[in-house]
Structure 1
Amino acid sequence: MIVDLHTHTTASDGGLSPQELVSRAQQCGVQLLAVTDHDTVDGFRALADIDKGELEIIAGIELSCTWSGVNIHVLGLGIDVSCPRLQLELADQRNARGERARIIAERLEKLGFEGCYEGAANLAEGRAIGRPDFARYLLGAGYVDSMAAAFDKYLGAGKVGDVKAMWPSLESVVAWIKSAGGVAVMAHPLHYKLTNAKLRRMLAEFKEVGGEGIEVCNGRPSASDLNYLKQLCKDFEFEASAGSDFHQPSNWLELGCDAKVIEPCQPVWARWQRTELPA
């Protein structure tokens, strides 16, 4: 079985429209797909009337939050996108992203980069402005020679454009997900570059506030990373998830993960898997 429970569309910072994402997933043989845009369910909503064929699609979201001063991402899988509380919190989150974008723009303009907010807003085309939009603007304006350079110099972790203080707490976003009937899954646990002790402390707190899974496979992890995350999954009695974290077509990453990659962990997708889907 091929699954992918971590994907993005143009509703947030992805490069494909929701419809294009579904078409590509079908071409890649994906059987169970979650659309998990950043702080929005608009991408999933756009798929309401399309022909999904044999592809099963579940509603998802990727929420930003903070834990002990670290910017953390939590996936909400199997959510009710019409949940009133979730909708209210997402509106607040969108406002927070708007304020964050203004702060990033002000910081960049103090470095001599003019028109950053307007330029990024035009590229965002009505959705919440993200750091990739600023990177695209800096590239298009000739301030940097690549997207990677924009992040390395100005927008990446610890740089002037790394603004995260306004995100809600880990406990809060887990509560939002659970209020919408979803499952809270810690996204890419190794991306936060925490020590083993600190990562275990974070996962313990995540479990305590209602977290139920971790992303054991994100993209194309090494064997050692997979084994480490499987052990954490076992130690904390989490369910395991797998996703490509797909944003746009590339030569090094494609949609879909073999379900066997998380064995022997309990798969989170067992909650939604249709019985007729082949294992």
Structure 2
Amino acid sequence: MARNQNAAEALTGAAQDAVLHPGRSADPAPVSQKEVSANAGNSAVGTAEVDNNQPDAESIDSVEATGDAGPVRAESRQRTLRLMLRQCDRVLLMDFDLLAMNDWPDNFSVAAARRSRDLWMFSAIVAATIFLSGLTGFVPAWIAGGGFGAFIIILLLGIPAVRRIYTSAPSYLDLLIKRQRMMRDARKHAEHLEGKEGLIWQCARMADFNPALKNARFSSLLHLSEQKSLPRALSRREHVRLYLIYLLEAENAYGRAQAAFFEGNQEAIDKGWEKAAAEPEDRT
């Protein structure tokens, strides 16, 4: 009994005094080929996901450039429209009735007045001839006296104050004076519109809003306007009417350009582009 107890104590002490020294690691468990392939696939997928999650520097730069180009392009367009509107705003001062010259004496009225003038002059010459013939003795004195009286009456009928008593038709001289006055007023108004820098050649920049401004028949007017000599060249009614047609087309283009400007301004305000959303400058 004692021997068994001593043996148990000896075993217990030996177990307590025993120390495990590190040695060769245990052999790993055998891994199948399928598990190796699966692990490799998972590693590749993880690497691809990490690469995809990283932002591309070139993509960021292109997006930022596109975002910056929007306000810059809008600001440039608004500045161009504002300049065009400012250069062509005098087209709004156009007096249509003055340039249209609706009261212009037509050719038929002028021709009729010229015939009346010729008849009056012929009658006066005949009466004067009869009177002078009586002085030389070719005709009797009473005929010469009648010719003199007729000559005086014909002259009186040609006086404007007397003429208005028996007819309301304007004389040939009145029609010519009226034409000259209307042309003078039209040239003065064109000079006011053109100013010192010229008007319609600057309005030609709005041709994108009205292609009619590119018509070849306006080329001479544009050239004269650029040379600041257009008002002096308006010597006929046809020239003034052509000038009026161009002003009407320019006014139409001005309205479209103004609408585009306000539309772009509102769009810039909605998108928060403060530099592009600028009001037209006040003229001083």
Q: How high is the TM-score relative to the length of structure 1? A: 0.19
Going by fraction, where is strand more abundant, 1 or 2?
A: 1
Q: How high is the TM-score relative to the length of structure 2? A: 0.19
Query: Which has the larger Rg?
Result: 2
